[in-house]
Chain A
């Protein structure tokens, strides 16, 4: 079955510290992978995506993610977290077919302490 697992429900990081949010997926074919961020009461903003090519992808707001096929992972990283990064982060996987919906993980809540 197709699924996305985000093992960490809630993470607290000190401002200025590094961050890694984990994402593992189960998918029968080569997936398209996404990370979205959601602030309270808001919609989802695309941080970055991986379709093919270089397995280390750069996104907005200083985020990056690395696709590791052998581990079925697509972890999100940021070298130095800012207080404004506190939000809900969702990993999603999708097929390479137009018109097909994404499968989302349950999300990880990031809190940033001063």
Chain B
């Protein structure tokens, strides 16, 4: 199946700094990528949908100025958590979907800890 990678897998940062998370589709072109956030013992909550070359669509309640999403190419999307705070600590997972395909392939996730 299709492979999606995320980098880094784990990051610890100080409060107030910014963190960038990369999501790459390794063997297919991802016209659409999704960013999810998962709290411990909970389900995935969609944060935003990004289509290559256009602005991301954010879910209600997600601050677009805090969670910057860029989908500059068909294989790469980035999520930047700006001015991170401890409450931003979470597990961030991206998924990618190619062309008109119906299946989403998920990355391994990034564990963010803000001190």
A-contacting 9-mer, from B12-20, B61-69, B73-81, B97-105: B97-105
Q: Are A43 and B107 in contact (CB under 8 A)?
A: yes
**A43 in complex: contacting residue of B6, B97, B100, B101, CB < 8 Å:** B6
Known: A42-B109, A104-B44. A99 touches B32 (CB 8 A): yes
Convert A92-114 into 0s and 1s, putting 1 for each residue whose CB lies closer than 8 angstroms to a CB of B: 00101011111011110100000
Chain B residues in 8 Å Cβ range of A11: none
In the bound assembly, the distance between CA atoms of A20 and B49 in angstroms comes to: 32
Interface size on B, residues (CB 8 A): 29
Q: Are B6 and A96 in contact (CB under 8 A)?
A: no
Interface size on A, residues (CB 8 A): 24
Q: Are B43 and A90 in contact (CB under 8 A)?
A: yes
Known: A41-B111, A43-B107. A99 touches B46 (CB 8 A): no
Known: A98-B100, A98-B101, A99-B32. A45 touches B106 (CB 8 A): yes
Chain A residues in 8 Å Cβ range of B43: 90, 104-107
In the bound assembly, the distance between CA atoms of A104 and B1 in angstroms comes to: 21
Chain A residues in 8 Å Cβ range of B51: 99
Known: A42-B108, A49-B103, A104-B43. A98 touches B32 (CB 8 A): yes
Task: Report B90 CB to chain A, min CB distance, Å.
Answer: 13
In the bound assembly, the distance between CA atoms of A101 and B32 in angstroms comes to: 9
Q: Are B93 and A98 in contact (CB under 8 A)?
A: no
Chain A, range 41-67, C-beta contacts under 8 Å to B: 41-46, 49, 51
Interface residues of B (CB under 8 A from A): 1, 4, 6, 31-32, 34, 41-44, 46, 49, 51, 91, 93, 95, 97, 99-109, 111
